[in-house]
Structure 1
Amino acid sequence: MDRLRIGLSACFFHPDGERKAAPSKTLLWIEQSTAHWLMSEGALPVMVPSFSGETFRGGVGVEDYARWLDGLVMHGGADVWPGSYGEQPLRPEWHGDRVRDEYEIALVRAFSAAGKPVFGICRGLQLINVAHGGTLYQDLRTQKPGALVHRDADAYDLNFHEVDILAGSRLAQLLPPGRHKINSVHHQGVKGLAPGFEVEAVSPVDGVIEAIRHTGGPWVAAVQWHPEFHRPELGVIDDTPLLRDFLQAARAARTA
């Protein structure tokens, strides 16, 4: 089988000079669950390395990976740096990861320019929104009145709430329309939707945006929940159609 090659944006672990146990060099890693989610439909996940830093050398660039790979999945993880959407951090712990933002924004732009589909998960949705000119709530609990608990540190991926799939959206063609149970592992969220995007799902209690899609041009879509964590026995929605739709777009891009 000619398997699809799908890029995974890396998570960063930066050196910390004040902690003796911390690594002295930047570490790049991916979540096993996300790689296995892609592999469940026969795709080959490939971590895309960074293209900056004191150890970077050689002529390999982000465009080389965008040409070679068939699509890109944006990982969850650290907060987005508020400076990426024109704000200052309201608290030190919401400073985010500026280096990772710059790396992932370059990835989104390169893959879209190459005509390759991009799918975002959790932080991936937030980063995609920011990369296209949108803004974020730095903290839903303190900035959005009436917000649900979208992140419970103890429950983690076993923190659930309902989501409404909006009628008429592409997502409603892939998943049963109406209300469904999803997991929730985020404290930030979309405040101002990026131009050229539409909302495909919302939290019915507080209106938090849970899924977005680009309305024209390159194939870009994202969800705020973690489909790679969903286990059917917990009563959550089956996200397999989302993965298949993304991979179908990747296959189409390969043959275009």
Structure 2
Amino acid sequence: MTRRPETAVRVGITARLARGDAHALGARRKDLLGAESGLVNSVCEAGALPLVLPWPRGLDAAVARHRAHAAADAIDALIVQGGADVAPELFGEKPLRPEWAGDADRDRYEIALVERVLAQGKPVLGICRGCQLLNVVFGGSLHQDLSLQREGSIVHSNPVVYEAHTHAVRLASGGLVATLHGRERGDVASAHHQGIARLGAGLVAEAWCVDDDLIEAVRTDAGWAVGVQWHPELHADDAALLDRLPLFAALVARAAA
């Protein structure tokens, strides 16, 4: 493949929806598609150019897929960031509650995007929802809600404190994530209520929650695709948590190579 004249690696970041509030002032009334600033900053600090990829609303499935493929063709690496639940229908279940139904437009777009990027041999980093989506793409399933469906699960999300809600993870000895961090244990920011149930074929577990043994990170056994259930982009201001940059730097280095 012929390289573009630009030297910066182009990292696509799937957009996250911030729903508008009809009672708010100004732009906050409207739905916004964007990326958490810590995520954008992390990509920049890793030496790459972040490009937010907003997913289209209400398009025909074929058109949405074409848009996703065009976006994949324009980037060197992909980050699937957190946000709405992954729709249970994608792993053969019905939503246990209406609010866990997911977002069909986002799911459709991101699945097409991930499949295209993987087929092109470009690296992928899935964060929180992105880790779960990667598992579903590879045929795995999810717990729709850990507290309801997984006996012994700790609380993995506390929206009141959000990024300050943390727990310890155990990293697979000799695994990719442990090698990147140079350690086999660390604390992470946790903000999710879904989680991996059945691991997808072609994925390898890379980390587990110390307190309840939930899978917290995965990688593909071929190519370079990594999913982490935690939020490394939220670790910038807390030295007690795993360093946020190794994952982003590894993604960019793989794309550059």
**Do both proteins adopt the same fold according to a TM-score greater than 0.5, normalized to the shorter chain?**
yes
1:84-163 → structure 2 map (5 Å cutoff): 84-163=90-169
Residue type of the partner of 1:180?
G
Q: Distance in 2 between matches of 1:12 and 1:235?
A: 29
Identity of aligned residues (%): 41
Instruction: Summarize deviations over 1:146-177 as a string: whole Å, max 9, x none.
Output: 11110011111100110001112111211133
Structure 1 position 54, deviation (Å): 5.1
Q: Is the 8 A contact 2:65 2:108 kept in 1?
A: no
Q: TM-score, normalised by structure 2?
A: 0.88
**1:221 is the counterpart of 2:221:** no
Match of 1:173 among 173, 179, 183: 179
Instruction: Summarize deviations over 1:84-121 as a string: whole Å, max 9, x none.
Output: 11100111121111221111000100111122111100
Q: Distance in 1 between matches of 2:173 and 2:245?
A: 19
Instruction: Summarize deviations over 1:22-60 as a string: whole Å, max 9, x none.
Output: 999864322222111111122111112335635998997
**1:247 is the counterpart of 2:252:** yes
Q: Which residue of 2 aligns with 1:42?
A: 47
Comparing 227-236 with 143-152, greater Cα deviation is found at 227-236
Q: Distance in 1 between matches of 2:7 and 2:88?
A: 41
Q: Is the 8 A contact 1:75 1:120 kept in 2?
A: yes
**1:30 is the counterpart of 2:49:** no
Superposed CA RMSD:
2.7
Q: Distance in 2 between matches of 1:231 and 1:34?
A: 10
Q: Is the 8 A contact 1:132 1:195 kept in 2?
A: yes
Structure 1 position 231, deviation (Å): 3.0
Q: Which residue of 1 aligns with 2:17?
A: 12
Q: Is the 8 A contact 2:42 2:244 kept in 1?
A: no
Say how many residue pairs are matched. 249
Q: Is the 8 A contact 1:84 1:98 kept in 2?
A: no
Q: Which residue of 2 aligns with 1:209?
A: 215
Q: Distance in 2 between matches of 1:34 and 1:99?
A: 22
Instruction: Summarize deviations over 1:125-161 as a string: whole Å, max 9, x none.
Output: 0011111111000001111111111001111110011
Q: Distance in 2 between matches of 1:241 and 1:78?
A: 26
Relative to 1, partners in 2 of residues 1:199 and 1:23: Cα closer, same or farther, differing over 3 Å? same
SS in 2 for 1:211: strand
Q: TM-score, normalised by structure 1?
A: 0.88
